[in-house]
Structures are given as C-alpha cells and as structure tokens.
C-alpha cells in the first residue's frame, strides 16, 4: 500500500494521505502481506465511512484474532481487538452498554465462522444491531494456513496436505437463515460495490453480514499454485457473477469455481433492543424505564 512510502519519505510535513482521517497513520506500515485482500477491504470500509451519516466518534470497530483481526488496530476509531472468536459477544456488550454506538465487527472467517460460529448464529438470531464484515480467505492464515470452516473441498492447506474433504460453510446462507436482515457477498475486486454495501449495512438497523472474499497469495494461493495477487484478481474478474437477490442456498463456493456475489437479503425486523424495549413497554407500561446508556 502506498501510505508506507508517504510516511517514510517526508517525515516532517507529508501531504495528508487520503485515508488519514480513518487510519492511524502512526501505526503504518501494517503487518499484511503484499497483495493481501484485507487492506482492500479496509479501504472499502474507509470509503463507506466517508459517506455514512453517523459521526465517526460513535462508530466503533471490534475484531477478534487473525490477520483480519488486526484491522481494529489500524482504524482511527474507538477500536477493540478482543479474543479469538469473541468479537461478536464483545461487540454485543459494547453496543448494549451504550445503544447510541454503531458497532462494526471486522474479522476473518476462522474467527467469525469457525471458533466464533456459535456467536454468529445467535447474534443473527437476536438481530443484534451490529455490522459484520467477515473477510474470508479460505484458511487460518495467521497461523500458517490450516483448514478452515470455509476451505473449499479439495483445496490444499497445511493440515489437509492431500486436499480438503470437509464441506465448508456457505456463509451468506448461514447468516440469512439465522435471521440477518442484510446479507451480501463481494470479492476484493469489487471495491466500489463493496464500499456501497458497507455503507448500506452501516446505515441499516439490525444484524448485517457481508462476506468479503479476499486473496491470500502468500499462503492459500501459493499452496494451491493459484498464482500471485494479480492472478487472483483476474480469477475474481472471470469467475465472480453478480446476482442480487440470489437464493442463498445456492451460494456454496467450490474450489476455483464460480463465486456468486451481490446483495442477497435486505429486510426489516425488530432488533434485540427494539424488541426488548417494545415488549417491556407493552407489559410494564409506565413502570418501564428504558436504558439509555452510561450517562442515563
């Protein structure tokens, strides 16, 4: 990414980086490999933040552990890097502690759908008012490329050296069937559409889930001999099919197969807090006292 050069070259008075409002420039350079898709996802998130109508002070980022989990450390927002798999419950507490906050969970597939899978299904079921950006690179990348709950069948990983035989999750279908009100999938090639989708998700109330298919050329692609970063982008270009409103049952990702992307679900349903407040108001009437946050 280019910000490395900007900082390095002229320490005294650099021209401001276009993403400086969103990024902690004092933490750059970042840890991601070149051609990694996580930076692209972060750029799309930053682009979306410029457009949403929520003050940046009220937007928080929570992540778990893994390559994608490091995003929390680079965004200039109140940001929390929690434990492996627990970004969603941490975010749930953060949101309920102060309902005025907009909380965005950004983490990887291993974190959100593997170790944290139980929290994913329950957060969706409750329609917790959270945005989840799940960056899926098909492996546990930070630990060296082990099989994940998302690894396509037959793909080679460090723990399936002869090819993966475990059926992976279809994440949009999982999120949708558990009750998410906004579900989309994009690849790191679709930066503008992804940014637009993130913007919609942030503006939406309820549990929004966006799967971001991201290249991992250092580990996943190398082990499967899929070429370098550019090859992976070319693969997305040739194989991603935009199909808004597609039946989520048909969104499985096969090894080096077509990837259906688009916005699949966009519905309305009361959030956890809406339901809690409405029901208690109905049952307790005047006696009900709505929790308004820490200054309440």
Contact residues toward another protein (CB under 8 A) are 24, 26-27, 56-58, 60, 62, 72-73, 76-83, 85-86, 88-98, 100-101, 118-119, 122, 272, 276, 280, 284, 287-296
Residue closer to another protein, measured from CB, 27 or 237: 27
For the bound state, the minimum distance from the C-beta of residue 296 to another protein, rounded and expressed in Å, comes to 6
Residue closer to another protein, measured from CB, 122 or 222: 122
* 3-state secondary structure string across 35-60: CCCHHHHHHHHHHHHHHCCCCHHHEE
Residue closer to another protein, measured from CB, 124 or 232: 124
Q: Which residue blocks in the chain are alpha helix, DSSP H?
A: 3-9, 38-51, 87-97, 109, 117-126, 171-178, 191-203, 222-223, 229-239, 272-284
Residue closer to another protein, measured from CB, 24 or 193: 24
Residue closer to another protein, measured from CB, 225 or 282: 282
Q: In sequence order, what are the residues at sequence separation of 6 or more whose Cβ sits closer than 8 angstroms to the Cβ of residue 261? A: 184, 185, 186, 187, 190, 193, 213, 240, 241, 242, 243
**Per this entry, what is the length of the chain?**
296
Numbers of helices and strands, H then E, in the chain: 10, 10
285 dihedral zone (left: phi>0; alpha: psi -120 to 50; beta): left
For the bound state, the minimum distance from the C-beta of residue 97 to another protein, rounded and expressed in Å, comes to 3
Q: Residue 108's beta-bridge partner residues?
A: 135
For the bound state, the minimum distance from the C-beta of residue 196 to another protein, rounded and expressed in Å, comes to 25
Residue closer to another protein, measured from CB, 141 or 253: 141
For the bound state, the minimum distance from the C-beta of residue 238 to another protein, rounded and expressed in Å, comes to 38
Determine the Cα–Cα distance for residues 160 and 38; give it in Å rounded to an integer.
24
Determine the Cα–Cα distance for residues 138 and 149; give it in Å rounded to an integer.
8
Q: Residue 242's beta-bridge partner residues?
A: 261
For the bound state, the minimum distance from the C-beta of residue 57 to another protein, rounded and expressed in Å, comes to 4
């Amino acid at each position: 990414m280019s910000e490395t050069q900007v900082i390095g070259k002229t320490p005294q008075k650099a021209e401001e980086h276009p993403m400086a409002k969103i990024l902690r420039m004092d933490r750059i350079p970042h840890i991601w490999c070149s051609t990694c898709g996580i930076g692209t996802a972060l750029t799309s998130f930053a682009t979306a933040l410029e457009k949403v109508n929520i003050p940046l002070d009220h937007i928080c980022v929570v992540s778990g552990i893994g390559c994608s989990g490091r995003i929390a450390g680079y965004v200039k927002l109140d940001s929390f890097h929690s434990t492996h798999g627990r970004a969603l419950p941490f975010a749930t507490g953060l949101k309920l502690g102060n309902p005025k906050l907009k909380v965005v969970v950004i983490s990887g597939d291993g974190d959100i759908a593997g170790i944290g899978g139980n929290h994913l299904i329950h957060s969706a079921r409750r329609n917790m008012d959270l945005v989840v950006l799940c960056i899926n690179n098909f492996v546990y990348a930070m630990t060296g490329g082990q099989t994940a709950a998302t690894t396509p069948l037959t793909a080679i990983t460090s723990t399936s050296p002869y090819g993966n035989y475990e059926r992976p999750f279809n994440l949009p279908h999982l999120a949708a069937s558990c009750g998410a009100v906004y579900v989309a999938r994009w690849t790191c090639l679709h930066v503008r559409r992804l940014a637009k989708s993130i913007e919609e998700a942030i503006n939406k109330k309820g549990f929004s889930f966006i799967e971001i298919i991201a290249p991992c050329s250092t580990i996943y692609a190398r082990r499967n001999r899929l070429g370098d970063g550019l090859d992976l982008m070319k693969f997305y270009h040739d194989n991603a099919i935009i199909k808004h409103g597609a039946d989520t049952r048909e969104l499985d990702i096969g090894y080096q197969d077509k990837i259906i992307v688009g916005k699949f679900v966009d519905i309305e349903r009361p959030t956890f807090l809406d339901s809690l407040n409405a029901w208690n108001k109905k049952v307790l009437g005047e006696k009900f006292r709505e929790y308004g946050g820490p200054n309440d």
